[in-house]
Amino acid sequence: MSDSVWILGTSMTRFTRHEGRDLLDLASEAALGALDDGGVTVGELDVLACGTLFSANASVGQQLLGQIGQTGISIYNVANACATGATAVRVALMAIRSGEASMALALGVEKMGKMGLLGSAPKRAKAAEVFEPSGRFGSVRSVDGILGTKTMPGVFGQAGMRYAHDHAGVGFDQFARIAHKNHQHSALNPLAQYRKEFSLDEIKASPMVAYPNTLLMCCPTGDGAAAAVLVSEERLESLSAEQRRRAVKISASVLTSDPYVEGGQVQPDVNTLTRNAADAAYEQAGVGPEDLDLVELHDCFASAELIHYDNLRLCEPGGAGDFIDSGAPYRDGSTPVNVSGGLISKGHPIGATGVANIYEVATHLRGEAGDRQIPDARVGLAHVIGLGSSCGVHILERSAA
């Protein structure tokens, strides 16, 4: 018997600013949607892994089951920055692999509203009267805007520019083209926060947030939830032919953190842990990047997507600029990337993101993605990175049945 873990059901809410709906409304919609989609009930679950970041201290998993069914099962509330959702999936999968559970729900939910810029220093109530060194760097005042930036668009802007420093053929135009692609893709996705196409000129002329990232190259904040019901292979075999036909195999599930690299303390290295995760995932799944029919990767900013082409081995080493210029990651290209619209346009309610990209890939593998369906998709990859850092990579495969 294989110890494979399968996705039996999956669902997500639309990503948007859900006025008048709270965290539990969103979590319940996604959870009940995934259970219904899998043809099972809350009473059949052995484990819940619930991911949320900004409400991480609120026992949201318990609150959710309080709404949809308090069955007394183990609940793991998890938080792992932007990798929170992928971590919830991993926890559910590990519970099944351990033999303690045969059916588990992984859920990610976030309500951010118009949260604004992440990573900016909290405003100090008042400037210190007398300079006194404090903290691990012995600073006497806020260093934000003096010793560079730690805001997310700036940090990922620097990551993209470092790639441009090391490799030819990468600049503002390539970053803009990535945003062009993802906005264009989102027009086909009814679950996306934004569904508007923009021209390259409009993207380049939109307000600069942190060069090279203009506003239209940055993901928005928003609200949403996504969920997946996972089952062991043994449990799946006991289910109906229709449930087995629609099940999607998790061929690889990997979570890495950042190994030490020189300078990583100064400018987060989002490359090494992504490469490590991708390489481990390809080995686990026994597939290569050339086998992928679609990829959902963590395009929190256009500059991030570009470097992940290389990190996920989708292009030749150093060739991320050529890759986007060639059109390869457009939905009609050789390796469609972020056909959902990606974080840039589908949205990025942080805890939900890492489950939503698994929803997206699974939906294509089932042939149920409607207008945005990638024809005959058989294998897909979902990637997230949470700064700090954690990287989750999942490879999914269509059922052979």
* CB of 11 or CB of 213, closer to other proteins: 213
Residues 253, 381: contact at Cβ < 8 Å? no
Vertex 319, ends 314 and 323: CA angle to 5°?
Answer: 60
Contacts of 72 (CB under 8 A, 6+ apart): none
Instruction: Transcribe 241-310 into DSSP letters.
Output: HHHHHH-EEEEEEEEEEPPP-TTTTTS---SHHHHHHHHHHHHHHT--GGG-SEEE---SBHHHHHHHHH
* CB of 42 or CB of 208, closer to other proteins: 208
Min CB(270)–other proteins separation in Å:
12
Place of tokens 């009930």: 41
**Is the backbone peptide bond immediately before 212 cis, with ω within 30 degrees of 0?**
yes
Six-digit token string for 277: 């995760």
Q: Give the CA distances from residue 72 to residues 87, 93, 98, in Å, rounded to whole numbers and listed in that order.
A: 22, 19, 19
* CB of 114 or CB of 136, closer to other proteins: 136
* CB of 248 or CB of 273, closer to other proteins: 273
Min CB(153)–other proteins separation in Å:
7
Min CB(118)–other proteins separation in Å:
11
* CB of 6 or CB of 301, closer to other proteins: 301
Min CB(309)–other proteins separation in Å:
18
Min CB(129)–other proteins separation in Å:
5
Min CB(284)–other proteins separation in Å:
27
Provide the binding-site residues for other proteins, judged by CB under 8 A: 117, 120-123, 127-131, 133, 136-149, 151, 153-155, 157-159, 161-162, 164-165, 172, 207-213, 260, 262-263, 265-267
Residues 145, 166: contact at Cβ < 8 Å? no
Q: DSSP 3-state assignment of 212?
A: coil
Min CB(321)–other proteins separation in Å:
14
* CB of 208 or CB of 239, closer to other proteins: 208
Per the DSSP assignment, residues forming a β-bridge with 109 are 225
Six-digit token string for 113: 């509203």
Six-digit token string for 84: 């929170």
* CB of 68 or CB of 208, closer to other proteins: 208
